[in-house]
Amino acid sequence: MKKDLVLGMDFGTQSLKIGVYSIAGEHIFSASASYPTQHRKNGYSEQDANDWWKALKTAMDKMAQAIDLSLIKAVSLCATSSTVVLTDKNLKPIAPAQCWMDQRAIQEEEEINSNQQKHVINQLRFSGGKTSIEWMTTKSLWLKKHYDLTDKRIVEQIDWINYQLTDQLVASKCNATCKWNYVEHLGGFSEPFFDAVDLRGITGHWPSNILNVGDQVGIVTKAAAAQLGVEAGIPVYQGGIDAHIGMIGSGALEAGRLSMITGTSFVHMMHHDKPILNDSLWGPYDSPLVKGHWLLEGGQLSCGSIISWFLQEFYSGRFDKEEVYKELEQEVLSINAGSEGLMMLDSWKGNRTPYKTPHATGAFIGLTLSHSKYHIYRAILESIAFGTKNVIQTMNQSGITVDRIIAGGGGTHNKCWMQIISDVTGLPISIPEDIETGSKGAAIIAAYGLGNYSSLTAASSAMVKMKKTYYPDLDKTQKYSELFDIYLNLNEALFPIMKKLKDGEAGQREQHTRDEASV
């Protein structure tokens, strides 16, 4: 007997992952395809939006070889945020997309955050008291300064992909609430807020229709269906930010459960039944996923990307990655907690939580001639675990209890890393059967959209099953508690020095540019 299937798409930082699931949550097939990111000077990180669509076609071609695509009855997707595309009025990109990690808008971030007008503060208090260099609002201010926005659109990655699928331009309430300063109980967007930060009229360049997660965006057009191999006319339901949709895909919607999405960066999220104001966190966001559920968010900008750096620098000639990880795990397990006096600071691309600074960079402290690359690797794993504990401690300081971490994403493949995070935080870490929680979450939204479940929470609970749980070694937890205090002290001591170094580098670049211009 044929099964009705749902398709979830997850447009990540480095690649696209798609997954097909049954209505009951059974994994049927997955495929992926990558796309390049160009990292340039001045913190630019860019992608070509057309590469996303090419990757989707490549992944769907792989899927078509394994399953009957006519069985897919609904689609939803999630994507990185804020990855921002400037387009013409017909949604054709006219500039490279600015990735979420793009750092060019430092000045714009500072301009918005320094504004002390009361209505600005009121709007920002529901995003942690600040805007971020990563967000739609900040990037839009940069675009306004550098482009004539007449007849232009500014959209996010998810908006652009949804448009390619359906010819409908809409935005997700998830993205708008968490990255665009949209606050539902304050009436949504605040024009006085945008006026105050020199963005008068900016919402006219953004999608005007804000849909809840699970609302229908439209139907797959004949043109899109012909390219992707699915049936024309199947519904597309609204998703949201990849990590946030991962909460749905990991079954972490209930209080006390911390969703930790592991990948290039880490994102930590918890629901709460009332707004908790803590300017060291992001939020409280007003019902971005589930009505009546306030969302608090923390995050680390550099996680999997630091491991990628390590592999590139120490294993660039090795293509047997599985064997490399086995070697690293064996060696790391022979090194005591604390990496024999070596510690790293993990803010290689700035700090998202709790310090909220784009000026922080990375550091190794305590290096001696007796340390090997394996000590460096373990110090990397431990440092990222310290960063996660710092986020959880910040939540605890607001009276929020974290009982358990539910982790998803590619980092969960690294068993050694998961155990270290459990040991450092002193918390159990549960891993779902489907660790690609973005695509699974999107598929759950599609199943809910079709009417198979009464709510997203019910759909998530029914369709997600746990596979493994890591439990902390409390002796190591005690040892790491002492090291964590040192980690905090190092952050406090070194962040001002890091800023001076970064400012000096920027000054040298500006002088070099002036010198070139004068030749």
pLDDT for 509: 57
Pairing label, strands 152-156, 84-88? antiparallel
Q: What are the pLDDT digits (tens) for 180-191?
A: 999 999 999 999
Q: Token pair of 239, please?
A: 């998703």
C-beta of residue 379 within 8 angstroms of C-beta of residue 232: no
* Under 8 Å between Cβ of 22 and 5: yes
**Percent of the chain scoring above 90 in pLDDT:** 88
Q: Which of 317, 313, 371 is nearest to 339 (CA)?
A: 371
pTM metric for this prediction = 0.87
Q: Which residues contact 27 (CB under 8 A, 6 or more apart)?
A: 19, 20, 21, 433, 434, 440
Is the pLDDT at 94 greater than 60, yes or no?
yes
pLDDT bucket at 283, cuts 50 / 70 / 90: very high
H or E segment and range at residue 241: strand 235-241
What ranges do the domains of the chain cover? Answer: 5-249+437-465, 266-435+469-501
Question: Would you place residue 319 in the very low, low, confident or very high pLDDT band (cuts 50, 70, 90)?
Answer: confident
Is the Cα dihedral 55, 58, 63, 64 positive or negative? Answer: positive
Q: What is the average pLDDT score of the chain?
A: 94
Q: What's the CA gap between 161 and 60, in Å, rounded?
A: 14
121 pLDDT band, cuts 50/70/90, is confident
Mean pLDDT of 448-460: 97
- Paired strand residues for 267: 261, 299
What is the sign of the dihedral through the CA atoms of 440, 442, 448 and 449? negative
CB burial class (10 A; 0-12, 13-18, 19+) of residue 51?
Answer: middle
Confidence of residue 226 (pLDDT cuts 50, 70, 90): very high
Task: Provide the pLDDT for residue 512.
Answer: 56
Q: For the beta carbon of residue 71, count every other beta carbon within 10 angstroms.
A: 17
Sign of CA dihedral 159, 165, 170, 172: negative
Q: pLDDT at position 1, please?
A: 35
Residue 516 has pLDDT above 60, yes or no: no
Judged against a pLDDT cut of 50, whether residue 262 lies above it is answered with yes
The arithmetic mean of pLDDT across residues 25-51, rounded, is 95
Burial grade of 82 (CB within 10 A; 0-12, 13-18, 19 or more) = buried
Query: Domain 5-249+437-465 adopts which CATH fold?
Result: Nucleotidyltransferase; domain 5 (3.30.420)
Phi, psi of 390 (to 5 degrees): -60, -40
Question: Lowest mean pLDDT: which of 56-60, 166-170, 406-410?
Answer: 406-410
CA-derived radius of gyration, the chain = 22
**pLDDT at position 120, please?**
84
CATH T-level fold of 266-435+469-501? Nucleotidyltransferase; domain 5 (3.30.420)
Mapped onto helix, strand or coil, the DSSP state of residue 256 is: coil
pLDDT tier at 255, thresholds 50, 70, 90:
confident
517 has pLDDT over 90: no
Question: Which residues are paired to 235 by β-bridges?
Answer: 219
- Amino acid (one-letter) located at 101: M
pLDDT band at 254; cut points 50, 70, 90? confident
Tell me the average pLDDT across 295-313. Answer: 95
% pLDDT > 70, the chain: 97
Q: Read off the pLDDT of each residue in 493-502 and give the average, rounded to a whole number.
A: 93
pLDDT of residue 507: 60
Query: Are residues 216 and 54 in contact, defined by beta-carbon separation less than 8 angstroms?
Result: no
